[in-house]
Amino acid sequence: MPPVLPRLFGTLRRHLTIPNRGGCKMRYTGKVRHTGKVRHTGTMEYTGRMKYTGQTTYELEICGLKRTLPVIQVAPDLWIASFVILGDTQLVNVCAGALASRISSYDFDVIVGPEAKAVPLLQALSTLLGHQRYVVCRKSVKAYMQNPVRVEVESITTKGTQALVLDGIDADRIRGKRVAVIDDVVSTGGSMVSVEALMNEAGATIACRAAVLKEGPSYSGDLIYLQDLPVFTAEGR
């Protein structure tokens, strides 16, 4: 463990409830309560969806922090609670500390993630885990890039198809390496799958996948995450 970690984790523990290896203890602010993956104490079955009844906000509690998220309509019968970690220093640091404790046992060389909201999370994780660099997958080809690698990605928060691009220099940097793929929110899994495609094209191996939140029921792949975040539909199913 890098020398800086015990001191940083000591600071973060003042803000976290940390069972076992340091993962934060999660709970919904409604009737559904769970720790880690969904574990119910009541009779309500969590399906990843909740009924939309005109609510304009959703109360999220994660790792001891509370945030009020605006509920935004993104399709004719789909609303999401908009989680924006970008610019929230406290939330970034606390969530990064919880994720760092969960992924630190995995064998990986490089932390990788898509822009833009996940970038401060990549920075904080790299600092906590003693990494000198991390790799950001961009959303368009930039003039500075050499031999960029490009794939297409779809997201429920983005209209249409969007590109995801890896600079050729970064592709060379991760070739033959094991990578941890990190995002702030995983919903349909489109961004995660596209980052993985970029890694495969560059010759990197996926060691683990992690996110702050898993949104809705769509993604079924392997994922380390801190808490579920529901999506909203008219019928709630």
pLDDT attached to residue 227: 95
Domain residues for 107?
A: 4-233
Can you point out the beta strands (E) in 33-177?
Answer: 49-51, 57-62, 65-75, 78-81, 110-114, 134-137, 149-155, 158-166
Q: What is the pLDDT of residues 47-93, one digit of tens each?
A: 799 999 999 999 999 999 999 999 999 999 999 999 999 999 999 99
Tokens 């009844």 sit at which residue? 53
> What's the rounded Cα separation, in Å, for the pair 101 and 108?
14
Q: Which of 24-33, 133-142, 197-206 has the lowest mean pLDDT?
A: 24-33
pTM as predicted: 0.79
Which residues are registered as beta bridge partners of 229? 215
Residue 178 pLDDT > 90: yes
Question: Using omega within 30 degrees of 0 as the cis cutoff, is the peptide bond preceding 116 cis?
Answer: yes
The dihedral built from the CA positions of residue 182, 188, 194 and 196, taken in this order, carries a sign that is positive
CATH number, domain of 201, equals: 3.40.50.2020
Structural domain count of the chain: 1
Cβ contacts of 88 within 8 Å, gap of 6 or more: 67
Map tokens 């000591």 to a residue: 10
